[in-house]
Structure 1
Amino acid sequence: MYGICNLSIVPLRAESTDQSEMVSQVLFGECFTILEKNKNWSKIKLSFDEYEGFIDNKQFEEISEELFHKISHQTHIYAGEVIDYITDVSGNLLTIPLGAHLPFYENQHFSINEKKFQFEGKVFSGAHSKNEIIQTAFIFLNTPYLWGGKTPFGIDCSGFTQMIYKLCGHKLFRDAHQQAKQGEVLSFIEESEPGDLAFFDNEEGEIIHVGIILKDYHIIHAYGKVRIDTLDHSGIFNNDLHTHTHKLRVIKKLI
């Protein structure tokens, strides 16, 4: 079985209950495989990054295997404004966030199953340069930190890096420790370019944080909010707290 998110922002939970931890979010237009389905909840695996979790059965609609594969393999087009809206043929409005997927988008129209929608806003499509990655990251400045979040209304550190790269046409896994396994290792900060990723670990050596490197030894990352701090060989120096908050582990070049 397969499904697609037909609401703006839906929580993806660790267990099949509303009280469970939100491990990520499913945005409008994202499709997935349904691994298990019971009366109220389904365990799913997202097509984009193969991330797994539980979604409320009332918050998605099922699609055919054929449609799932068509959507998964087409060129993805994403909504490009912090928030916008779509309309159906009856004129009903539905708000969608930055990064919502618009299946089969063409000439301001797209569809899910047999239902047709209109969208007149800005879109992201295709692969973009590192400079575009930086410009896109700035859109999220001052977004509040939210564990499991993926939108400009709340985002975590790896959700931030994943969404920026996704909007620019590049695939990252969901969690920081997964992203740290991608790309090419750089030995020194001096070798890095704006748009590369820096990863940080805890005392046990586990990767727990990630951010996007900017020019002149700065980094943009989600810590309390999406903010810009100083990056040095030790890690992140918080410009408000006047202390290091994260210990640098590795720098990776992905594009």
Structure 2
Amino acid sequence: MSDLDPRLNAFRDDLADARLKDRVAAPRYVEGRPAGIARGIVDLRRAPDASSGLDTQLLFGERVRVFDEAGGWTWVQSETDGYVGYLESAALGPAVEQPTHRLRALRSFLYPEPNLKTPALDCLSIASPVQVVGEKNGYSEIAGGGWLYSKHLQPLTESSPDFVATALEFLGTPYLWGGRSSIGLDCSTLVQLSLACAGVNLRRDSYQQAATAGEALNGLPQEVTLERGDLVFSPGHVAIMLDAEHIVHANGFTMTVAIERLQALEKRVLEETGGKGFTGVRRIMP
């Protein structure tokens, strides 16, 4: 039995990613083929079943590697953060080879023509990568078809370095376990998407971020001088410091993205973990 995390490595009893050939035993290995997400927001599930648990979501324009397809479901691995799971086959299209922009508005409609009065084709969420192939009437035509309002886009050559300000744009967004969009998201997605707009790629889950994001500070929140943008971790959770006393986070207590005092979060964490409390602080370096 492999000790690899199946959420981040594509292997099953019947087949595996060919890149894992030296690490897992399988009756069949598959190279995988590239594909792209062709819908605004797509659920990635643990099994090929709409009632299966939601691990994460994929965004329009993101690339995946396809390993298997059957019964209307496709088994893929995200090239954005490595997550493996099942999505509806109809949500896939050709991979966008050269994205030029990201959606910078929280969300924006995709139109069949450069005209706001035409019925929208879809709704895209912040950080979705797109390739602009033309412009007209203040709208940008994207590869694969459709038009987005140009002022809602940001060239990939530019960024929004104040990721805390970006996180604050999500205030009031509903909390959704496994959610990864401005329609609904969880704590680690708030961090991931906010930093994506700053041009920083980050892993998906809080336990991964706790080990890889920025640099670890030598001490717990009560033991270090906290700064704006520091990431404060507790078991299964991450919050962003606004200043030395306040945080912004997506959380299951308010069921929204909200601002709270760090002290209030600490009290709940102590109660929920039997006194274990915070586990670490990491600083995103410029």
What's the TM-score bracket when you normalise by the shorter of the two chains?
Answer: 0.7 to 0.9
Task: Indicate yes or no: 2:131 matched with 1:103.
Answer: yes
Describe how 1:101-180 pairs up with structure 2 within 5 A: 101-104=129-132, 107=135, 108-113=139-144, 115=145, 117-124=147-154, 125=156, 126-129=158-161, 132-180=162-210
Indicate the structure (1 or 2) with the bigger Cα radius of gyration: 2
Q: Percent identity?
A: 24
Between the aligned partners of 2:242 and 2:119, the Cα distance in structure 1 is 41
TM-score, normalised by the number of residues in structure 2: 0.73
Instruction: Determine if contact 1:184/1:253 at 8 Å carries over to the other structure.
Output: yes
SS at match of 1:11: strand
> What are the Cα deviations for residues 107-137 of structure 1, in whole angstroms up to 9, with x where unaligned?
5534335x364432322443443xx111111
TM-score, normalised by the number of residues in structure 1: 0.81
SS at match of 2:129: coil
Between the aligned partners of 1:92 and 1:118, the Cα distance in structure 2 is 13
Unmatched segments (≥5 aa) in structure 1: 202-207
Between the aligned partners of 2:228 and 2:43, the Cα distance in structure 1 is 31
Instruction: Determine if contact 2:45/2:85 at 8 Å carries over to the other structure.
Output: yes
Instruction: Determine if contact 1:102/1:110 at 8 Å carries over to the other structure.
Output: no
SS at match of 1:121: helix
SS at match of 1:154: coil
Unmatched segments (≥5 aa) in structure 2: 1-32
Describe how 1:44-55 pairs up with structure 2 within 5 A: 44-55=76-87
Describe how 1:31-46 pairs up with structure 2 within 5 A: 31-46=63-78
Counterpart of 2:4?
none
Instruction: Determine if contact 1:211/1:219 at 8 Å carries over to the other structure.
Output: yes
Instruction: Determine if contact 2:160/2:166 at 8 Å carries over to the other structure.
Output: no
Between the aligned partners of 1:254 and 1:105, the Cα distance in structure 2 is 34
Between the aligned partners of 2:68 and 2:110, the Cα distance in structure 1 is 30
Task: Indicate yes or no: 2:114 matched with 1:80.
Answer: no
Deviation at 1:231, TM superposition (A): 2.0
Flag the 1:221–1:118 CA change in 2: closer, same or farther, 3 A.
closer
Between the aligned partners of 1:14 and 1:8, the Cα distance in structure 2 is 20
Counterpart of 2:23?
none
Deviation at 1:236, TM superposition (A): 2.1
Deviation at 1:36, TM superposition (A): 1.8
Describe how 1:10-29 pairs up with structure 2 within 5 A: 10-29=42-61
Computed over aligned residues only, the root mean square deviation of the Cα atoms, in angstroms, reads 2.6
Instruction: Determine if contact 1:199/1:251 at 8 Å carries over to the other structure.
Output: yes
Query: Residue type matched to 1:153 in 2?
Result: I
Counterpart of 1:185?
216
Between the aligned partners of 2:210 and 2:233, the Cα distance in structure 1 is 7
Instruction: Determine if contact 2:66/2:75 at 8 Å carries over to the other structure.
Output: yes
Flag the 1:143–1:118 CA change in 2: closer, same or farther, 3 A.
closer
Task: Indicate yes or no: 2:4 matched with 1:4.
Answer: no
